[in-house]
Each structure stands twice: as structure tokens, then as C-alpha cells.
Amino acid sequence: MSEKLQKVLARAGLGSRRKMEVVIQEGRVSVDGKVVGLGERVTDVQVIRVDGHIVKNLTPENTMCRILAYNKPEGEICTRSDEEGRTTVFERLPSLKGARWISIGRLDINTSGLLLFTTDGEFANKMMHPSQQIEREYAVRIFGDVTEAILNRLRMGVQLEDGEAKFLDIKESGGEGINRWFHVVLTEGRTREVRRLWESQGLQVSRLMRVRYGNITLSKQLPQGGWHELNLKEVNYLRKLVDMPKETESKVKVDVTESKFTNPQARIRRAVKKHAQHRKAGERRRTKTRTRS
């Protein structure tokens, strides 16, 4: 059996099929040592390279779609590595054999809350595509005088530098005076969109946290820096949103009526604390090295 090359590359998590088509057209992909063009089909026994690096051909049959829900703290960045030594969202995730975690979207360094990861690159790309219109809900603390006229404009739509944007829903959720909390819902994932919408009205966002993606909500029991793996029912709910076939097995060995956490809360908190201690020790070592040099 053979598949289109761009589909195989997308499944490996290198980007969307359209992006992979561009990479192929640029002559950056080889199969069995020969540079190939668009329209190439490959089998799981052929050696694929992108920019000289081998890409593992993950067929649907040998790939289980796993999804993690991660509670991202402020200060972490959504890249695999950082030249400045800042903490990345991938550092605390469980290790994998023969696969890697791919983030479904991003949160900026000053935003906390729910971030999803998966082992299925094609699924990740479909989830992130603007056409899917999947709801994201955020809790946001606003500094400034929020009037009903401002809320109406944000519901109706305002013009940003990259086009019109709006909140599908806005609900007050506490606070008083010039520091008030709101829950807002949108279906796009444009860069800093929530912040830019409020800033367009002369208001300042002092805290921002994503609390829901689709119907997957951030559990109050999950500490910052902690993660849990979604069960089969939750995985298939998300796959159905993007018209992908159901998974038939899962690494989570609990009934859907039981706790969703694969680790007891005490273990999650210990892991978060251990990671924080490891980061601090590394920072102290780097500081000593710089001082000596």
C-alpha cells in the first residue's frame, strides 16, 4: 500500500498537507536518496528525508492517537527548545518511544491554562485549521472601565490589523471596580487575539487563562505544570470534530465514569515540584559557569 508523500509528512507532524506540498516543490524532500516532486507516493519501507533528516513513516495502523491536556504556567514558551534557556511546554511531558508530542496551537508566554498535545500530526493540523471553528474559552482579568457599549462592540466585531474579529460570547465572572474578570469565547486562534480585542477598546489584560478547548475543560484539580491523558471517549470526541476516524484503543486504562487522571494528584504535584527544583538547579549551574568565565 502507498500513500501520498505530503500526507505521510503531515502525519509525522511536520506541518499541514498544503505546507508539505510547498516543501516538496522546493526540492527539500528525498525518497530512497532521490529528490522527488509533488505527486510522489511512498510505502512504509521507503526512506524519507526532509532537509537531509530521516522522517519516520507513521502509518495509521501503527499510530495510536494520544492526547494530553496540559496546564501551562505563565513564563513557558511553546517551542521545543529556546536559545535563552527559558522553560518550554515540552519539558514536563512524558517521554515517548517512536513518536513525539505535537502541540495543538500555542499560548503566548504570558498566557496560562489549557494546552493540548497529540501524537498524531495530521489530527493536530486539522484541529488548528481556521475552517474547523472549534470554540476556545478564556478567563480574562481586565484593568480599566468596561462599559456595556464596549462589550457590545466586542460582540459585534471590531477591526484589527489582520481583519475583523469578535467574541462569540462574553460573561462577567467576578471582580469589582477597574479589575474585573470575564469569560470570553472565540473560534479562531490568531496571534494574541484575545488581548488585541480588549486592547482595541483601550483596556489592559492583566491575566489571561484558557479554560476550555471544544468541550475539554481545564480541571481545577490539575496543578500548573501538570498534565493528564484524555481517555478514549474524549479522544474520539475531538477526532469527530475534524472528521477523522475513531480510535479503538487507548493508553488510559480507566472507565469513562471514573477519574480521568492517569496519575493520582499527589504524583502530579510531586512531578511538578521535582521539575521546578531541577530547573532551579540548572539555572544555578549556568550562573556559576558565567561567573567563572
Size (the chain), residues: 293
Cα dist. 10→25, 126, 223, 276 in Å? Answer: 15, 10, 32, 34
**221: amino acid identity, one letter:** Q
Question: How far apart are the C-alpha atoms of 243 and 17, rounded to whole Å?
Answer: 16
Q: How far apart are the first and last CA of the chain?
A: 57
Q: Quick check: is 120 catalytic?
A: no
Q: 112 and 25 in contact (C-beta within 8 Å)?
A: no
Please state, in angstroms and rounded to a whole number, the distance separating the CA atoms of residues 127 and 187.
11
Q: Which of 51, 108, 145, 162 is catalytic?
A: 108
The Cα–Cα gap between 33 and 43 comes to: 14
Distances (CA, A) of 26 to 36, 50, 125, 144, 195: 10, 11, 21, 49, 36
Q: Is 73 helix (H, G, I), strand (E, B) or coil?
A: coil
With cell 469569560, the residue in question is 183
- Give the residue among 17, 14, 52 at the shortest CA–CA distance from 33: 52
H helix runs in 191-241, sequence order: 193-199, 232-241
- Residue 119 has phi, psi (to 5 degrees) of -95, -5
Beta-bridge mates of residue 272: none
Positions marked active-site:
108
